[in-house]
């Protein structure tokens, strides 16, 4: 009788490691869901170095692997394909919209430039270069997402279809799993024999390894996050400025991304609207008289802040590429609201004056927030898709309201949001919440349209008394809403039931 060990040695390439094709699979990693490993996987430079392992011949582990593949991993493979398809569809939709706008931009460009072609030809080339550079970046994003998803789906589809070498064999992976498990369960029960490791069993083990590798690669999260990198520029022409073209050649167009749409007021000053405020774009030698809810925005070419101390309004925005070092005193006392984009100089303690009570860190903000950078005067903090990890102490204890905007992609480990926060607004954040992410001091939570994280019991802490719900994407479950909640306001966009998840004495406002 040929031993199981000899049978394994005679099996084809299905026994080869997916990560190291020249090495045979010889172990199960007990610390990583029984993922099959080769000698190189467990070497000093391998991902599973120092982990507990069992030999491949372990019957109990093979049975556990088969059942885990059937009951858990296989379903996740299917879910990954569905998620990938959704992301791919969103990617193609965005890309098609950008492509359409790209064509509109070019047509508009040609039409307007033709009127003053002899004067504006150099500007025309400059605009086209900017448009094409952004379009090429969008094309690259689309190519990366498409290639990544197609690669994942090719592997996963092969697993689903069992990669049958025999054209007449249409047995799926799940059918083969059931067949192997049923046969070996009966053999072990009837004869007390070891699990029979044949060609099909090794093939399933290989497919299990391939599945875990793909499922653990986080490509779907990376691809979903990459959707936010698309930049749909829109070109606008201002006919009033074209009439004065000789003196305003570079003012006849603006390239706007989705964040700001530049407008021109009656005095030919550029401005945009953001957060219910009107921001004038600073141009040297221009004079502004600011009204309530009006602020000033500085671009990348500004090195003038220190000269404008007594002229700044209480609301200031530093736009992407702003490149002046904010030594203490550059932003004067008197500034109350501060908006920061992707500024290029690091902040230091004292960069933000103690008069500031409201800070908004916009998408792309990429500076470290070491403790003390945000002063204790801040009460309101709004965070977009910032790029540096927050640390305990980044947010001062004086902050009472935190709003995490769509695209916020930082882990909220316990302590990041400090005790003292009482109101919390959550948009379409990208990292899952855990117990302790929200401090016990929070009494009011608003889940805004697009919020897409599971609210397992304990995520919303005891202490929350008021809850507001918009178009959240995940179903509530029993225990999602703590017993301390006294009032739930349901916005018209909320699409789920609320009554089964709150006690009868909770006031529901619709």
pLDDT given at position 401: 97
Q: Is residue 423 within 8 Å of 400, Cβ to Cβ?
A: yes
Place of tokens 């004086």: 398
Q: Is residue 385 within 8 Å of 363, Cβ to Cβ?
A: yes
pLDDT given at position 426: 97
The CA distance from 433 to 437, in Å, is: 6
The CA distance from 439 to 424, in Å, is: 10
Q: What is the CA radius of gyration of the chain?
A: 29
Strands (E), 173-291: 234-237, 253-256, 263-264, 270-274, 277-281
Kindly list the distances between the CA atom of residue 260 and the CA atoms of 134, 233, 256, 320, 427, in Å, as whole numbers in the listed order: 16, 10, 6, 11, 20
Tokens of 231: 């930049």
The CA distance from 305 to 195, in Å, is: 75
- 3-state SS, residue 380: strand
The CA distance from 87 to 221, in Å, is: 10
- Of residues 383, 433, 389, 375, the one with CA closest to residue 408: 383
The CA distance from 251 to 271, in Å, is: 13
HSE-CB at 358 with a 13 A cutoff on CA atoms is 9
| Strands 337-340 vs 358-361: parallel, antiparallel or unpaired | parallel
Other C-beta atoms lying within 10 Å of the C-beta of residue 329: 13
Q: Is residue 264 within 8 Å of 270, Cβ to Cβ?
A: yes
Total length of the chain: 510
- 3-state SS, residue 279: strand
pLDDT given at position 441: 96
Other C-beta atoms lying within 10 Å of the C-beta of residue 402: 24
pLDDT given at position 138: 92
pLDDT per 10-residue tile (average), the chain, 510 residues: 47 80 90 90 89 87 88 88 88 86 85 73 81 92 90 83 63 79 70 71 84 82 83 81 58 55 77 84 68 79 65 88 88 92 93 96 94 96 95 96 95 94 96 94 96 93 95 91 94 90 90
| Strands 466-469 vs 487-490: parallel, antiparallel or unpaired | parallel
List of residues 6+ apart from 93 with CB closer than 8 A: none
pLDDT given at position 409: 93
pLDDT given at position 247: 55
pLDDT given at position 86: 85
The CA distance from 116 to 304, in Å, is: 34
pLDDT given at position 283: 73
The CA distance from 452 to 155, in Å, is: 27
Place of tokens 């009868």: 504
Angle of CA points 207, 209, 211, to nearest 5°: 70
pLDDT given at position 2: 43
Work out the angle between the directed axes of helices 173-191 and 199-215 (0-180°, nearest 10).
Answer: 130
Tokens of 118: 């002899």
pLDDT given at position 300: 66
The CA distance from 204 to 162, in Å, is: 8
List of residues 6+ apart from 251 with CB closer than 8 A: 238, 241, 268
Give the pTM.
Answer: 0.53
Tens of pLDDT, residue by residue over 22-78, are 899 999 999 888 899 999 999 988 889 899 999 988 888 888 888 888 888 898 899
Strand partners, 403: 382, 425
Q: Is residue 452 within 8 Å of 474, Cβ to Cβ?
A: yes
Tell me how far the alpha carbon of residue 213 is from its chain's centroid. 21
Q: Is residue 429 within 8 Å of 402, Cβ to Cβ?
A: no
Q: Is residue 236 within 8 Å of 260, Cβ to Cβ?
A: no
The CA distance from 466 to 444, in Å, is: 5
Tokens of 272: 């945009």
The CA distance from 416 to 390, in Å, is: 7
Tens of pLDDT, residue by residue over 443-475, are 999 999 999 999 999 999 999 999 999 999 998
């Amino acid at each position: 009788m040929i031993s199981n060990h000899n049978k394994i040695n005679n099996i084809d390439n299905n026994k080869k490691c997916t990560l190291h094709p020249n090495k045979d699979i010889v172990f199960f990693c007990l610390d990583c869901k029984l993922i099959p490993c080769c000698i190189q996987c467990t070497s000093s430079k391998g991902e599973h170095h120092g982990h507990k392992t069992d030999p491949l011949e372990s019957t109990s582990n093979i049975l556990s692997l088969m059942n885990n593949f059937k009951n858990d991993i296989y379903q996740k493979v299917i879910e990954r394909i569905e998620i990938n398809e959704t992301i791919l569809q969103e990617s193609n939709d965005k890309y098609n919209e950008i492509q359409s706008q790209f064509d509109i931009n070019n047509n508009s460009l040609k039409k307007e430039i033709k009127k003053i072609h002899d004067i504006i030809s150099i500007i025309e080339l400059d605009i086209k270069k900017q448009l094409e550079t952004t379009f090429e970046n969008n094309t690259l994003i689309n190519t990366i997402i498409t290639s990544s998803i197609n690669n994942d789906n090719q592997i996963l589809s092969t697993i689903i279809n069992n990669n049958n070498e025999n054209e007449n064999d249409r047995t799926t992976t799940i059918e083969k799993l059931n067949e192997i498990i049923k046969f070996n369960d009966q053999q072990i029960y009837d004869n007390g024999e070891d699990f029979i490791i044949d060609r099909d069993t090794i093939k399933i083990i290989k497919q299990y390894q391939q599945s875990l590798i793909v499922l653990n690669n986080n490509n779907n999260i990376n691809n979903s996050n990459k959707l936010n990198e698309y930049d749909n520029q829109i070109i606008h022409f201002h006919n009033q400025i074209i009439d004065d073209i000789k003196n305003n050649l570079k003012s006849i167009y603006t390239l706007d991304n989705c964040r700001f749409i530049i407008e021109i007021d009656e005095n030919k000053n550029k401005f945009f609207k953001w957060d219910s405020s009107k921001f004038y774009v600073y141009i040297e030698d221009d004079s502004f008289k600011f009204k309530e809810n009006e602020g000033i925005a500085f671009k990348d070419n500004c090195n003038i802040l220190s000269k404008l101390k007594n002229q700044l309004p209480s609301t200031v925005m530093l736009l992407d590429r702003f490149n002046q070092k904010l030594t203490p005193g550059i932003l004067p006392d008197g500034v109350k609201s501060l908006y920061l984009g992707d500024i290029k100089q690091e902040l230091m303690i004292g960069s933000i004056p103690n008069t500031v009570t409201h800070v908004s860190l916009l998408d792309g903000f990429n500076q470290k927030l070491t403790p003390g950078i945000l002063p204790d005067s801040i009460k309101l903090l709004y965070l977009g898709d910032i790029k540096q990890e927050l640390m305990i102490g980044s947010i001062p204890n004086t902050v009472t309201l935190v709003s995490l905007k769509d695209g916020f992609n930082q882990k909220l480990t316990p302590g990041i949001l400090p005790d003292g926060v009482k109101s919390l607004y959550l948009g379409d954040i990208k990292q899952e919440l855990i117990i302790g992410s929200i401090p016990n001091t929070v009494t009011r939570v608003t889940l805004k349209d697009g919020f897409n994280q599971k609210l397992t019991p304990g995520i919303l802490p005891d202490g929350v008394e008021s809850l507001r719900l918009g178009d959240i994407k995940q179903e509530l479950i029993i225990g999602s809403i703590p017993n301390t909640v006294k009032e739930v306001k349901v916005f018209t966009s909320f699409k789920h039931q609320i009554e089964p998840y709150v006690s009868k004495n909770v006031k529901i406002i619709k």
